[in-house]
Amino acid sequence: MLLEGREKVIFHGVLQILLRKYKRKGDSCLGIDLKKQRITWESSMVEKKQSHKQPERYFTKNSVQLLSTDGISVYSKSQTSSSGPSTFIPVSQLDSDAPPTTTSVNPLGIYDPLTTLWLQGKGPSEHETLKQQASQETSENVNSILKAKVEEYNRMVRENPRDVHTWMEFVSFQDEIMRGPSPYAIKEGEQEIRRKSFKLILEKKLAILERAIESNPNEVDLKLAKLKLCTEFWEPSSLIKEWQKLVFLHPNNPVLWQKYLLFCQSQFSTFSVSKVHGLYGKCLSTLAAVQDGSMVSHPVLPGTEEAMLAIFLQQCHFLRQAGHSEKAVSLFQALIDFTFFKPDSVKDLPTRGQVEFFEPFWDSGEPRFGEKGAKGWKSWMHQQEKGGWIIINKPDEDEEDVAEDQEIKDKTLPKWQIWLDIECSREKRHWLPWRPDKTKKQTEEDCEDPERQFLEEVIGDPALLSLIHTCRSLLSADWTCSLLWKGAITHLICLVFLNVLFDDLGPSLIRLSSPDLQFQLLYSFLQFVGVPCGHSLFPSNLYIAMDENNIFDTGQSERPLTSFDSLLSGVNSIGHMDTMTRGRQHIGHCKEGEEFIQNVFHLMLPLFSRKENANLSVCWLQYEISKVVQCLQAKNKKKLKSQGKKSKKLAKNLLKASENRNNLSLWKLYAYLEWLLGNTEDARKVFDTSLCLAGTEGMRNIQLCNLSLLYASLEVELLESFEETVMSRALHILTKLAESGPYVPYTGQVLSVNILKARKAYEHALQDYLTESPVSNWDQASSSSQLVNLVGCYVLFQYLTVGIDAAVLICRHISEKLKGFASQKFESIGENLGIHNFPTALEAVTLMHTNLLRYHMKVSIYPLNPLREALTEALKLYPSNQSLWRSYIQIQSKSHNASKARRFFDRVTRSTKSLEPWLFAIQAEMMRKKLVENVQRVDVGEIYSTIPETGLTNRIKALFEHAIQSENGAHCPLLWRMYLNFLFSLGNKERSKGLFYKALQNCPWAKVLYMDAIEYFPDQLQETLDLMTEKELRVRVPVEELELLLED
């Protein structure tokens, strides 16, 4: 109802509901001249800011989903279909001179046909309709293909539910389904709005695996895959219970045990050293019972004995990385004594019975393996049967106690730095278990660190560990207390641990019946203490033990023909634990450590036959040569002189032995030692003498070929130019080897006739070796080494006489031959040719090929591309070869274009599970980043004309993130240390701290991670040490003792 005008007046204002409301659209007004007139609107409302939507980048969520969908095939109109494979999309040539067609609705000729039809009021033609239908059918065909695959997998697992491989393929196929739109979408638009969640994929995989386990309840692989998926859903306690159930059902499966140990070892919330150490003992004792046949419910699986040794080595490296080096050395001592010095009377007993007989010897206090005066379990037991151990060695009167260096050299340094210095110093000096020296009338009270005495025997309950720390603090608290109190406290610790001296050690003792595995144990121990033996760890525990960044050390890069890798790169030897940024040496030990290694060799050499005795002697001399090489690299002339004398003395003593007088391998190393020390003429005399001793076997003698190859390579490296090759001694050496006659020292230029005869001899020898059965005089067991040495001599001969192209041609020919052999059955060819290890021979020939190219580029002008191609082909075959990767990143660092190397790294990392490609890809990018930063910071001098690269930091972070998500990288301490060091170098302390705790979630046992954190975050020294104590990692310098040392 409308109100009259008088009635409106009685209100206080105009009734708003009767007034028409309107909104103004725009700021203009009809009828005004915009050039001369303007209207200003007054409004109390604040104008809303127009929102400008930013264009989405390629890495946003919507863009990633768009990229994950299948694309539409593109092809030319003239093509009938796009099914045929082609390397390019042909585009028909358009006539650009033809004028565009114009119509009334398209006067300019710029509209496409569909727009023209729309302007005319018409629909699309039949051709266009068919084209749209074809695109729809294409997407429907993709869905139908996925549906067909799903139905096929369901049919196969229904018809054959025992096929585990098909079940695993079905699980992996879920990733392919989730990459595209769902083939089972019902509602319109569901394909576009469906959320592709990671959890959905896991749930589908879990459902498939549960169906598979119902049909195959005894298949371990299916259960392992389920546990791996359940890591994303379950709590750690639930996971541990499931693992325990699985191990209980399959106690005879060593692969399952290895995965279970790694799982428990990498669970930060439940981790402690004593708990994991006990699991290792339980695992080895269970597998030993299965091996002996005492566990009748489960049979022995193939490869159990080898897997037991791998688990034992993993346990020793676990203790080393946790800081319990004395415990690790004790385990090695016990198992070597248990294996090589076993009395004949107990060899037929089961493992548990042998351990019970071994316990009295271990607790008797007699010298153990590697200690002075040790004679072994067998000699001790034989002497006990006669009436006890009588002989007591008298101390050497000439020996004097060497005073130890003062632990704190500079008290003005920060507290955290002093702690690191003392901790690293004690790690270096105290890696051997302390035992009282009866010849010096020592007792348990003389031990300054009770943990060295007892923790090599037991890592017990945390309460007992706390008692040790308390007693140790009492020992150091009052320096004026009487010796009586100190003796009483130490005796208290003795009483606490006296009843558990052997209980924690015995379960880890295993029986090795295979001679090859016995020698593998010995060589692994030598490698553990830093002696180069040429033996690597088992693949299952290599990356877990990798914690040192010497994997990138170039070594003798200036000697590409004669350099050799002396150590197990990436794995730290005992006694050399330090942070990432501090300089350190990797070879050699303190006086006690060197005496221990000497005792090991003196005790083991008489046990073996002539061949194994020679191999051990070679390892010992290589160890001494490695220390000389380290002195050369450090340019320490004083230490080099003293070390050279010790090494030469050892070499002469080894050659004086009757069984080694004709050992060409030892003669070769002695001559090489003289050459490294700069005594070139003396080295030549040793080489000539050893060649004269070799006789007239020529190329049929493996050691003679190896000796001649090293001698000739050393002489080639002395040449100043390539033109001097005709007059070189190297050509004379290789020619005499091919003549198979008595060796005559070098007198002058080699005759051309002799060169031709030598070339024919090399050709025939190599051809006969590859095509015919081996001659009976040739050593069948070392035929792979024989082939490598023969190829090396022939390649070097061709290089000196013809040139680099001829030498490279031989390498390629031999590589193709070996690849052809490797593609066939190894059994028949291996028996025919006597080559039992084709990959090793092929890898050695490839390495020889690349080293020769590196040397030639050093002495003459030669393109880089042949070397790059040779390295890329070799790394495709051997992605875990560290020497090849070092050479590759070294040559790639000289190139300003990193795109090829990045594409190559990407291909290799996708095709292999090895961790080396990730590590060296990261190292290559870090080298490039360092180069760019150096160029950008140059203030004076020449500035290189390079374009500064942006995004290197993000690229390196992405590489790290991808690497730690891989199976082998997640639990590699070295990878986490590199990542932590890189983030800290960027100056982001908070992110570095977060990464440190993330690293502990995966590698809580690695003490080096905690030491790195103390260096990066010094204000959290106490918190880090408390965390180490909680996890039972070895802390040699408690904070209380450090404060007392600072006050003293």
pLDDT digits (tens, 9 = 90+) for 643-665: 999 999 999 999 998 888 889 99
Residue with more model confidence, 528 or 135: 528
What are the distances in angstroms from CA 725 to CA 65, 367, 744, 768? 63, 57, 19, 28
Q: How many helices (H) and strands (E) does the chain have?
A: 43, 0
Yes or no: say if 180 and 68 are a contact pair by the CB < 8 Å rule: yes
Residue 485 has pLDDT above 70, yes or no: no
What local confidence, expressed as pLDDT, does residue 184 receive?
Answer: 42
**pLDDT digits over 372-402, tens only?**
888 889 988 888 877 655 444 444 444 444 4
Instruction: Compute and round to an integer the Cα radius of gyration of the chain.
Output: 37
State mean pLDDT over 213-238.
Answer: 86
Yes or no: say if 726 and 749 are a contact pair by the CB < 8 Å rule: yes
Q: Is 327 exposed, middle or buried (0-12, 13-18, 19+ CB in 10 A)?
A: buried
Residue 980 has pLDDT above 90, yes or no: yes
Yes or no: say if 168 and 213 are a contact pair by the CB < 8 Å rule: no
- Span of 185-194, 513-522, 673-682 with lowest mean pLDDT: 185-194
pLDDT bin (cut points 50, 70, 90) of residue 110 is confident
Yes or no: say if 339 and 351 are a contact pair by the CB < 8 Å rule: no
State mean pLDDT over 850-854.
Answer: 91
**Both ends of the chain: CA-CA distance in Å?**
104
**pLDDT digits over 34-82, tens only?**
777 777 766 544 455 555 566 777 667 667 666 655 555 555 555 544 4
Residue with more model confidence, 556 or 947: 556
**pLDDT digits over 405-447, tens only?**
567 777 888 999 999 999 988 888 888 886 666 565 555 555 5
Instruction: List all residues 6 or more positions away from 416 whose beta carbon is below 8 Å from its beta carbon.
Output: 1014, 1015, 1018, 1021
Which of 293-326 are b and which e, b meaning 16 or more Cβ less than 10 Å from the residue's Cβ?
eebeeeeeeeebbbbbbbbbbbbbbbbbbbbbbb
Which amino acid is located at 1043 in the chain? E
Looking at every residue in the chain, the average pLDDT score rounds to: 79
Please state, in angstroms and rounded to a whole number, the distance separating the CA atoms of residues 312 and 726.
Answer: 54
Residue 941 has which token pair?
């001098």
Yes or no: say if 298 and 251 are a contact pair by the CB < 8 Å rule: yes
Residue 186 has pLDDT above 50, yes or no: no
Share of the chain above pLDDT 90, in %: 35
Which of 546-582 are b and which e, b meaning 16 or more Cβ less than 10 Å from the residue's Cβ?
bbbbbbbeebbeebbbbbbebbbbbbbbbbbbbbbee
Please state, in angstroms and rounded to a whole number, the distance separating the CA atoms of residues 1003 and 168.
Answer: 29
What local confidence, expressed as pLDDT, does residue 995 receive?
Answer: 95
- Span of 445-449, 520-524, 621-625, 989-993 with lowest mean pLDDT: 445-449
Q: Is 446 exposed, middle or buried (0-12, 13-18, 19+ CB in 10 A)?
A: middle
pLDDT bin (cut points 50, 70, 90) of residue 15 is low
**pLDDT digits over 928-941, tens only?**
888 887 776 655 45
What local confidence, expressed as pLDDT, does residue 22 receive?
Answer: 64
Share of the chain above pLDDT 70, in %: 73
pLDDT bin (cut points 50, 70, 90) of residue 487 is very low
Yes or no: say if 730 and 868 are a contact pair by the CB < 8 Å rule: no
What local confidence, expressed as pLDDT, does residue 486 receive?
Answer: 45
Which amino acid is located at 670 in the chain? Y
Residue 1040 has which token pair?
């209380």
Please state, in angstroms and rounded to a whole number, the distance separating the CA atoms of residues 857 and 872.
Answer: 17
**pLDDT digits over 704-729, tens only?**
999 999 999 999 988 876 666 666 88
What local confidence, expressed as pLDDT, does residue 455 receive?
Answer: 40
**pLDDT digits over 533-584, tens only?**
877 788 888 899 998 888 887 766 678 888 766 556 788 888 888 888 886 6
Yes or no: say if 693 and 664 are a contact pair by the CB < 8 Å rule: yes
Residue 201 has pLDDT above 50, yes or no: yes
pLDDT bin (cut points 50, 70, 90) of residue 143 is low
Nearest Cα to 572, choosing from 317, 335, 331?
Answer: 317
